[in-house]
Amino acid sequence: MAQAQKLTPAQAQSQNAQARYAMLTNSPRYVKNLGTFTANAGATAATTRIKLQNVGIITKLRLYVTANLTIGTANAVQSTKGPYNLIDRIRVADFANQDRVNCSGFQLFMANCVRSKRFFGANNMAATAVFTNPSYPITIGAKTISFFMDVPLAYDAENPIVGLQDLRGAILAQTGVGELYLSIDWLKTLVSTAGDIDAVYSGAGTTTVVGTAGNNDVSVTVWQEYIFPQAIPGTNTVPMPMQDLMTVYELNGYIKSSDNLAVNQEKLINVPNVRSVIGAYYNYVTGGAAAQGNVAKIRFIANGNNVITEDTELSALFRQRMYCNSDTVAGAMFSTFRERPIETSLYGNVQVGFTPAVVSGGNQYVELLWEDFYVSGAALPGVLTS
């Protein structure tokens, strides 16, 4: 009996692209409102766990977050990381219990900025519109924080150019076995009068911030976006881009490294192996604050001596401005390799060299997020720093 001929990588990619195109041109897209879920603002270990529906091919989740707060005594001061750090941690795991998204709310905001190539959620035109979102009030009284957030599962399912949509990372959820969940851990610290930016408000002497209602102060509305595969007209064939569905698009963060931080001394951070890295995000906090001018240099280094990129903070921020057509947030930087991913399996070791210019002690760390692809089921080593 003749054996099936094994496809070459080029043939497999071509077959996947054809199946993807056929599916996208024949299959409707749906947006399902999963409902609104509540939690207590500032509560100890407040977590919202939302079950996703096992339907279609899930490409994205969209969140609308609101928090009803009372600001008392004195006007508050916005945190550099707020209001997005109201979400302390956000996670989406697949049916194999492998994290697709695991990062802080602020890290996800930065990834959204890079993905959309603009300051995410803001109106860059003159009018306010969209019911004044994002809203991040500081004055005394009963106030409401509100903002939108995207949780991408597929890399680029919404590209407006036909044929350029990229479904790598989308989750095939058409199964009666297994469950998918979105988990949100809410930040416990609403205000820090010491000025620590890890709180939603970084202070102002005697400012107080509490949940207005005392119960169910925070709410999140979740929309699940998915493709419902259909058979090609006149056939019984339902095209499926299996290569896309077997690829994980990963946002791997919620990593804070605080060791070996010294002025003008390079700290080496290992890039995760067995991945195609397309983005690296790092925000630097020292003395509980973030500001421009605190970083001396950032390098990407392969095999100890092959320097792939080398930037000062100034050149990195200008590169970011040109990429996003806007600035982002002080202390937050990123490197992108979308045009040519860094294939860590091809190198003995890939590291980020992070050199601080200012070290103030106290609450101090480099927060890391990796944006990458890998094949589902691959053995994945951990993330180490030195």
**Where are any strands of DSSP class E within 83-131?**
87-93, 99-103
Confidence of residue 327 (pLDDT cuts 50, 70, 90): confident
What is the arithmetic mean of pLDDT over 206-216?
80
Helix (H) or strand (E) holding 354: strand 350-356
pLDDT by residue (tens digit) across 242-299?
999 999 999 999 999 999 999 999 999 999 988 999 999 999 999 999 988 999 999 9
More confident residue, 130 or 30: 30
Identify the residue with better confidence: 252 or 195: 252
Q: Which domains are delineated in the chain? A: 28-227 (2.70.9.30), 252-375 (2.60.120.20)
| Rounded Cα–Cα distance for residues 371 and 336 (Å) | 9
The values of phi and psi at residue 111, to 5°, are -65, -40
Task: Output the pLDDT for position 384.
Answer: 43
Q: Are 123 and 147 in contact (CB under 8 A)?
A: no
Q: How far is 244 from 190, CA to CA, in rounded Å?
A: 40
Which residues lie closer than 8 Å to 51 by C-beta, 6 or more apart?
A: 179, 180, 181
- This prediction has a pTM of 0.91
For 164-183, write each residue's pLDDT tens digit: 889 999 999 988 888 999 99
What are 33's two structure tokens? 């409102």
Terminal alpha carbon distance of the chain: 55
pLDDT band of residue 385 (cuts 50, 70, 90) is very low
For the stretch 56-67, pLDDT in tens is 999 999 999 999
Q: Is 118 helix (H, G, I), strand (E, B) or coil?
A: coil
